Amino acid sequence: MKKLLLASVVSATFAVPAFAADQADVVVVGAGGAGLSAAVTAHNLGKKVIVLEKMTMLGGNTNRAAGGLNAAETKHQEKNGIKDSIETHFNDTMKGGKYLNNPDLVHKLTDNAKYSVDFINDLGGDLTDVGMMAGATNKRTHRPTGGGFVGANVVATLAKASKDKDIDVRTSANVQKLLIKDGKVTGVQYKDKAGKLRTVNAKAVVIATGGFGANQAMLVKINPKLKGFGTTNHPGATGDGIKLGENAGASTVDLEQVQTHPTVVPNNGEMITEAVRGNGAILINQEGKRFINELQTRDVVSAAELQQTGRVGYLVFDNSVRRSLKAIETYIKKKLVTEGATLDELAKKLNINADNLKATIDQYAKFQAAKKDDAFGRADMPRPLTQGPWYAVQVTPAVHHTMGGLRINSEAQVLNKEGNVIPGLFAAGEVTGGVHGANRLGGNAMADIVTFGRIAGRNAALHPTEVIVSRGQNPKDAETATAEGK
């Protein structure tokens, strides 16, 4: 079943057992993409898993992910004649992160991302279309057929798998603290939907609660310049998992590294996927002129937008781009898009200079035909933007991703302030730091949450209190494959 409706699974009722004397092999805190990937993986290894999610529905920020999942050397790239390599993905990620990234974590990510694509597809998901995202040398962003939203598909896939496997998933379950005995994490305490404090004892805990992009106080404390910024994050992204880890002695890394996304609708918080630019759209300012290479990294494009009149830009594209990307139809239905049968009509509706807009589009078409952007050096220009009608979306930067969080090693084990493993404690996804450095590339978050979610789930199941020496690149190694019955 390739296409899954998010609403049909995220609000599904899971069978919840009695609360008395709860015991599990693995407790997963957070039911977004990372948490559910960990839960499914640990369950497949024959372990009893309990998932605790503080919100009333599953998915977290993964629900809002639009672009795709980056992976190199996949069967889908090969099928489409795309030449790419894991080494190039690694180099792009390090460069995008300004080389602040932890190379061991980046190697783990890029070595294993292709297996994450297979993991989701094997569960019935649809990561078969491959597109381009900013900061990437090659097309490696795997997404649903036609370029649909990736997050909804992945959450629906993982939620259905969790339900089909009868994994114990509890919503409105707000974890208050980690239980520790003799230096090892042995479970959690949480408040249920009635506000009653409950305990779950476990051999290992996986923290997968996401970042703190919706916690304005925490953001401003770290960087006062972020005061008043909007956010693309869901309301539950408040940094709870970071606090849980710190209270248990965990170290943090890169907390000051906060990414803004450059294409967010002002006063709305709706993020316009980077795939719109990747499929050919350009950015213009209030004067009707381009001002940036649209495929620069998010921090560079965001900074350039803030220098424009009104601190906004306009994402402009034509009908050929619209036809190339299914996600655009959602923005049109939400009335976020301005349409003009001609460029003059579009300019009038936007109250920008029509002559400048027409000159900009004409110049861009010439650059595209010559395969050389003499103005800003954009390398990938898939379409000349000459097929009316034309469309525009006003955009501005907003807080999008927090690159910092709990410090982990390449086996997703949480480290203390001395750099030692905290036995029984694992973490994955945006709650962790070190993977993305100073700036995350679009498409790498989905790769991060599924890849490290699987690694955390595997290691929490098989080696809950050991210091793990990496046994190979693929999370589905011989030991895991045997345990999964493959």
Q: pLDDT digits over 187-232, tens only?
A: 999 999 999 999 999 999 999 999 999 999 999 999 998 887 889 8
Same domain, 219 and 145: yes
Domain at 438, CATH number: 3.50.50.60
pLDDT in tens, 385-442: 999 999 999 999 999 899 999 999 999 999 999 999 999 999 999 999 999 999 999 9
Q: Is 369 exposed, middle or buried (0-12, 13-18, 19+ CB in 10 A)?
A: exposed
Position 2 in a domain = no
Partners of 425 in the β-ladder: 205
Nearest alpha-carbon partner for 12 in 63, 47, 56, 65:
56
Query: Last residue of a domain, which of 399, 422, 452?
Result: 399
Query: Last residue of a domain, which of 383, 399, 415?
Result: 399
Same domain, 189 and 119: yes
Instruction: Check residue 268 and give its pLDDT.
Output: 82
Cβ-count burial 448-467 (b if 16+ within 10 Å, e if not): bbbbbbbbbbbbbbbbbbee
Instruction: Check residue 9 and give its pLDDT.
Output: 45
| Contact predicate 346/340, CB 8 Å | yes
298 is a catalytic site residue: yes
d(CA 411, CA 23): 24
Same domain, 104 and 211: yes
Same domain, 29 and 175: yes
Nearest alpha-carbon partner for 475 in 455, 461, 460:
455
Nearest alpha-carbon partner for 275 in 334, 230, 324:
324
Position 4 in a domain = no
Same domain, 176 and 157: yes
| Helix and strand counts by DSSP (H, E) for the chain | 16, 19
Same domain, 275 and 392: yes
Position 7 in a domain = no
Give me the number of domains the chain comprises: 2
Position 235 in a domain = yes
DSSP characters over 391-455: EEEEEEEEEEEE--EEEB-TT-EEEBTTS-EEEEEEE-GGGEESSSTTSPPTTHHHHHHHHHHHH
Residue for token pair 């992009």:
213
Same domain, 143 and 230: yes
Query: Last residue of a domain, which of 371, 399, 427?
Result: 399
- CA distances, 135 to each of 31, 65, 378, 421 (Å): 29, 17, 11, 33
| Contact predicate 400/258, CB 8 Å | no
Position 243 in a domain = yes
Same domain, 186 and 323: no
Position 10 in a domain = no
> In which domain, by residue range, is 130 found?
23-257+403-483
Same domain, 249 and 301: no
Nearest alpha-carbon partner for 212 in 190, 241, 191:
241
Domain at 285, CATH number: 3.90.700.10
Q: Where are the beta strands (DSSP E) in 62-125?
A: 69-70
- CA distances, 147 to each of 33, 133, 234 (Å): 19, 12, 22
Position 200 in a domain = yes
What is the helix, strand, coil percentage profile of the chain, to 5? 35, 20, 45
Same domain, 185 and 58: yes
Selected catalytic residue, list 143, 277, 298, 407: 298
d(CA 39, CA 413): 16
Same domain, 117 and 242: yes
Same domain, 289 and 309: yes
Other beta carbons less than 10 A from residue 122's beta carbon: 13
Position 9 in a domain = no
* Residue ranges of the chain whose pLDDT lies below 50: 1-9, 11-13, 15-19, 471, 478-486
d(CA 244, CA 176): 7
